[in-house]
């Protein structure tokens, strides 16, 4: 197994540390119109906050920011000169001003808690209309640094305490622990199967893979369904592009039994050129009596829309292909063997919901202006996973693991991986969702 290094890059030593790691000056930004490399982005971040970097000799690098709520800010497959995959909100970071609505630093993997909407919402105060004007991210996970609680030779672990209140006036008190570690081919073999892992491990293929293990422990009163539960919600903000398509496998089958394939009305209807549902008879983990299809969703950052796949339809994997950059992203996460036996939260705004414990396991969000003349949050797209919600007694915990894999390779290898893991080839994706 490759040796994995963990390095603290303190704010006060940022320039010296970065200058030693990559050629050229530690500029605030590259030439206008040119995306930052990982090294340039790391230099920018290190001017504004402390970073912890996970690296291996093959060029995988992951930049973590404990001060910004334990976010994974960005990663790369190719060392300091490689591409930077995470969306980083340079404008917000430069401004240095807090935002009670949302501390939008960016970051390709962050931890929130759900539900977002409904009678048990964590974002809206009791009695308010659930619209964007009254939408506020709970301070418990919108501000404050997370403490590093692991030793220098241990996997990176961070911890914090969260106190918050939902729209039904129920109060919560949690201890939260978040671990981040790099993954190797042997890990991917267990997660994706030997066929996919073997392709990722071939010579000439560059990849970065990491997981976050997120634990929520109840330190307050016993949690009950009538007063509202919570779940762990992991969101990945990634750089969008005109030829970027999100791919979400789902369990195919009768709508009368399984419900709609995809929920797509979170922020109004999604135009048909931005969302397509394809049936199929194969896919990751599919059996003859349990076929898969795929949902295709445009990730160009130009149109505000959100989709979700429910506990009756979800599989524990999704991904995205950026044809312009030649990068395949795969996301795999922990999910119960039978999610229909669990409570998943309804995150839709409004309510009260008749079914607050029937909701999505997987979400994807594409950024864009929320209205005429208004500015979006990015641009970026998101790939997200959610844990079940459970009634935790005092001292009981909820755990959710989320894994992100970026792969750079020739088209044939990426096509093979897309078929193996997502159940669809790249030619079919391009045919169904031609780039702009």
pLDDT the model gives residue 190: 93
Check: CB of residue 210 under 8 Å from CB of residue 403. Answer: yes
- What gap in Å lies between CA 275 and CA 299, rounded to an integer? 10
pLDDT category at 50 given cuts 50, 70, 90 is very high
- For residue 286, is pLDDT > 80? no
Among the ranges given (13-27, 248-262, 296-310), the one the predictor scored with the smallest mean pLDDT: 13-27
CA 157 to chain centre: 18
List for the chain the helix, strand, coil content (%; round to 5): 15, 35, 45
Whether the pLDDT of residue 345 is over 70: the answer is yes
Nearest to 14 by CA among 46, 53, 61, 55: 46
* Residue 159 pLDDT exceeds 80: yes
Q: Give domain 110-432's CATH architecture.
A: Distorted Sandwich (2.70)
Rounded CA separation 419/422 (Å): 6
Q: How many CA atoms lie within 13 A of 341 on its CB side?
A: 4
Helical segments of 180-254, H only? 185-192, 194-200
Q: Two tokens at 241?
A: 């592009």
Domain ranges of the chain: 110-432
What is the rounded CA–CA span in Å between residue 114 and residue 107?
18
Structure tokens, 95: 């401004």
Q: Is 144 exposed, middle or buried (0-12, 13-18, 19+ CB in 10 A)?
A: middle
CA 120 to CA 19: how far, in whole Å?
A: 48
pLDDT band at 10; cut points 50, 70, 90: confident
Which pLDDT score is estimated for 284?
43
Q: What is the Cβ-side half-sphere exposure of residue 183, based on CA atoms within 13 angstroms?
A: 29
**Residue linked to tokens 């994807």:** 364
Kindly report, residue by residue over 173-227, the tens digit of the pLDDT.
999 999 999 999 999 999 999 999 999 999 899 999 999 999 999 999 999 999 9
Sign of CA dihedral 59, 327, 249, 398: positive
pLDDT tens-digit profile of 298-324? 999 999 999 999 999 999 999 999 999
Residue 291 pLDDT: 66
The answer on pLDDT for 22 being more than 80 is: no
Place of tokens 């009981």: 396
Nearest to 381 by CA among 314, 327, 420, 313: 327
Q: How confident is the model at residue 290 (pLDDT cuts 50, 70, 90)?
A: low
Mean pLDDT of 365-384: 93
Q: Is the pLDDT of residue 14 over 50?
A: no
Rounded-to-integer distance, Cα 53 and Cα 72, Å: 10
Q: What is the pLDDT of residue 280?
A: 60
Rounded Cα distance, 175 and 161, in Å: 5
> Residue 261's closest CA among 245, 247, 278?
278
Tokens matching residue 286:
């599919």
Distance, CA of 356 to CA of 116 (rounded, Å): 11
Question: What global pTM score does this model have?
Answer: 0.91
Mean pLDDT of the chain: 90
pLDDT digits (tens, 9 = 90+) for 388-414: 999 999 999 999 999 999 999 999 999
* Other Cβ atoms closer than 10 A to 294: 28
Q: How far apart are CA 41 and CA 196, in angstroms?
A: 30
DSSP 356-397: TT--EEEEEEE---SSTT---S-S-EEEEEE--B--PPTT-E
Residue 159 has a CB neighbour count (10 Å cut-off) of: 17
| Band (11; pLDDT cuts 50, 70, 90) | low
pLDDT, residue 288, reads 46
pLDDT at 103: 95
23 Cβ neighbours under 8 A, 6+ residues apart: none
E strands, 128-229, are 147-148, 156-165, 171-182, 206-218
Is residue 152 over pLDDT 90? no
SS3 154: coil
Structure confidence at residue 3 as a pLDDT band (50, 70, 90): low
List the Cα angle 6/8/11 in 5-degree steps. Answer: 155
Q: Residue 151 above 50 pLDDT?
A: yes
């Amino acid at each position: 197994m490759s040796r994995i290094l963990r390095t603290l890059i303190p704010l006060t030593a940022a320039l010296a540390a970065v200058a030693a790691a990559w050629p050229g000056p530690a500029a605030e930004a590259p030439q206008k119109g040119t995306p930052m490399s990982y090294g340039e982005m790391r230099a920018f971040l290190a001017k504004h906050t402390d970073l912890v970097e996970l690296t291996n000799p093959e060029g995988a690098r992951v930049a973590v920011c404990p001060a910004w709520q334990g976010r994974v800010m960005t990663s790369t497959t190719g060392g300091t000169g490689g591409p930077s995959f995470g969306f980083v909100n340079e404008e917000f970071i430069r401004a240095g001003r807090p935002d009670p609505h949302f501390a939008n630093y960016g970051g390709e993997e962050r931890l929130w808690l759900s539900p977002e909407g409904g009678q048990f919402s964590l974002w809206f105060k009791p009695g308010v209309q659930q619209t964007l004007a009254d939408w506020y991210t709970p301070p418990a996970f919108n501000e404050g640094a997370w403490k590093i609680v692991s030793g220098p030779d241990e996997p990176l672990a961070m911890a914090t305490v969260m106190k918050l209140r939902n729209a039904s006036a129920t109060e919560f008190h949690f201890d939260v622990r978040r671990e981040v570690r790099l993954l190797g081919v042997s890990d991917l073999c267990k997660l994706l199967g030997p066929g996919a892992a073997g392709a990722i491990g071939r010579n000439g293929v560059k990849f970065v893979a990491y997981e976050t293990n997120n634990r929520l422990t109840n330190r307050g009163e016993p949690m009950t369904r009538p007063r509202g539960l919570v779940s762990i919600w992991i969101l990945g903000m990634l750089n969008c592009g005109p030829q970027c398509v999100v791919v979400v496998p789902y369990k195919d089958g009768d709508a009368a039994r399984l419900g709609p394939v995809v929920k797509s009305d979170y922020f109004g209807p999604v135009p048909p050129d931005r969302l397509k549902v394809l049936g199929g008879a194969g896919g990751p983990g599919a059996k003859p009596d349990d076929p898969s299809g795929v949902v295709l969703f445009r990730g160009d950052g130009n149109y505000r829309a959100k989709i979700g796949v429910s506990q009756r339809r979800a599989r524990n994997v999704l991904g995205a292909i950026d044809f312009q950059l030649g990068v395949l992203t795969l996301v795999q996460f922990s999910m119960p063997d039978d999610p229909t036996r669990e409570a998943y939260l309804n995150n839709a705004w409004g309510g009260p919901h008749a079914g607050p414990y029937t909701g999505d396991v997987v979400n994807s969000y594409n950024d864009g202006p929320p209205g005429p003349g208004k500015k979006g949050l990015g641009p970026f797209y998101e790939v997200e996973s959610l844990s079940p919600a459970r009634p935790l007694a005092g001292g009981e915990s909820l755990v959710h693991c989320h894994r992100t894999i970026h792969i750079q390779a020739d088209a044939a290898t990426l096509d093979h991986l897309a078929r193996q893991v997502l159940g669809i080839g790249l030619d079919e994706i391009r045919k169904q969702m031609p780039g702009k």
